Amino acid sequence: MLCLGIESSCDESALALVKDGVLLSQTLNSQIDVHALFGGVVPELASREHGRSIPVLYDLLLQNSGVSPRDIDCIAVACGPGLLGSLLVGCAFAKGLALALDVPLIAVNHLHAHLLAAGLEHELSFPALGVLVSGGHTHIYLINSPTDFLLIGRSIDDAAGEAVDKFGKMLGLPYPAGRFIDEFGAGGRVKPSLFPRPYLDNNNLDFSFSGLKTSALSFLTDRPELRFKISEKTGRPELIKPEVGQELKDICASFMFAVADTLRVKAARALEQNTQSDIRSIILAGGVAANSTIRASFFSLCSEHGLEFIVASPALCTDNAAMVAYAGEVLFQHDLHSTLDFAAIARGQQVPNDYSKILR
C-alpha cells in the first residue's frame, strides 16, 4: 500500500510517501528562516508559506520518487492540533487531491503521528508508555495499540520545547533554539542545583515548565556576557564574549538536565501508577526527543525497568510528513478513514477520533 502524507501544522511544509511501512521519499520546506527574525512562528506568514510550497513539494516528490499519482492508494494529512490557518492549507490540498485521485483520505492526529514515527525504523511494542515532548506539547500517554491512545499527563502551562526555545531566546539564540542548546550542552558539566526541576512535589503526571523559564530569566538577567549574536559571516550564533565557553556549556547542560530529569521523574511515576497495564516499552517522541540528554535519561529509565526504549532518529523526531504517512497507513490498515468534511483542529483543542469504517 502506498500512502501520501502531508504535514502543515506549524512551520514545516512536508510531504512523504510511505509504502508498506517503509519511507520511499520525502520533501520538506522548513520556514525557520522566515520566522527566525521574529523569534517565533508568525501564524499568518506560516499559512502563506504552506500555500506557496505544498503544491511545489508535491510535484517534486513525484519527480524524485518516480511515483505516478495513479500509484497512490490513500492520502493522510495532519488535521491538528496546530496553527489553524496552516492546517487548513494542508487539509484543503489533501481533500482536493483525494477527490481528484478518487482515493481514501485519513485525517491524522499530529501528536499520535509523532508517537508512531519510530515505527518506520523499529518494531513498536504495546502496551507502551508514550512520552511526547514537542514545541507545543508535553504529554504522557498509555498506548494500548497504534489506534488506542489514552492521555494520562500533560503540561498545565508551557510545553518543554517552549521553555527550551524561550531559554534560547534569552541567550540571543535564533528560534528554534533546542538544537543549539543540545550542541552547547554536550561538552558541559551538569550542576543540578542551578535550575529547579519544576512541579514534581505532587502526586500527578502533569508538568509545569513556566517556573523553569522564570528561574532561567532571573539567572541570565545578571549575565549579559552569556548572550549570543548571529555571525554575519556564517549565519550561526557566536558569543559576544567568547571566553565564557565552559560556563555557557555548563549552563546549557544544567538547563537540559532540569528538563530531562523532570520528564524522567514523571514517566517513572506513570510506570508506578500503571503497573496493571503491563507496559512493555517507552516510546519517546516529538522534536525535543531529538535531545541527547533526554534520550540518555530515558535510555537508563528503560534499562532500570526492563522496558524496551523506542525513539526515532532525530530527523524523524521533529515535524515531518513521513510520520503522518505512516500513521495514516496504520489507520487505513485498521480499515479506518475520514469523510471529506473532517475539520482542522486548532492547538489546545481535542482532535476527535471519529473515523469511519471501510467496508471491504
Over the window 302 to 331, marking each residue x when it contacts ligand KG4 by CB under 6 A and - when it does not, the resulting string is ----------------xx------------
CA separation, residue 322 to residues 3, 252, 356 (Å) = 10, 31, 23
CB of 68 to ligand KG4, least distance (A): 31
Do residues 169 and 41 make contact, with C-beta atoms less than 8 angstroms apart? no
- Residue number, 281 or 291, with CB nearest to ligand KG4: 291
Residues in binding contact with Zn ion, number by CB under 5 A: 2
Nearest-approach distance from CB 101 to ligand KG4, in angstroms: 28
165 binds Zn ion (CB under 5 A): no
Subset of 307-336 contacting Zn ion (CB under 5 A) = 319
Nearer to ligand KG4, 25 or 86 (CB): 86
Q: How far apart are CA 286 and CA 138, in angstroms?
A: 9
Cα–Cα distance, 222 to 200 (Å, whole number) = 27
C-alpha 285, offset from chain centre: 6
47 binds Zn ion (CB under 5 A): no
SS3 300: helix
Alpha helices in the chain (DSSP H): 32-36, 43-65, 84-101, 110-116, 160-170, 178-185, 210-221, 245-273, 292-305, 314-317, 322-333
- Cα 315 to Cα 259: distance, rounded to the nearest angstrom: 21
Asked if 138 interacts with Zn ion (CB under 5 A), we say no
Residue 291 interaction partner, one of ligand KG4, Zn ion, none, beta carbon < 5-8 Å per kind: ligand KG4
- Nearest one of 115, 93, 23 to 317, comparing CA atoms: 115
237 contributes a contact to ligand KG4 by CB under 6 A: no
Looking at residues 178 to 217 of the shown chain, list those that interact with ligand KG4 (rule: CB under 6 A): 178-179, 182
Interaction partner, residue 318 (Zn ion, ligand KG4, none; CB < 5-8 Å by kind): ligand KG4
Per-residue contact string for residues 21-60; x = within reach of ligand KG4 by CB under 6 A: ----------------------------------------
| CB of 142 closer than 8 Å to CB of 277 | yes
Residue 80 binds what, of ligand KG4, Zn ion, none (CB under 5 to 8 Å, by partner type)? none
- Shortest distance (Å) from residue 351 CB to ligand KG4: 13
Neighbours of 28 (CB within 10 A): 19
3-state secondary structure of 86: helix
Residues at the contact surface with ligand KG4, assessed by CB under 6 A: 10, 134-136, 161, 164-165, 176-179, 182, 286-288, 290-291, 318-319
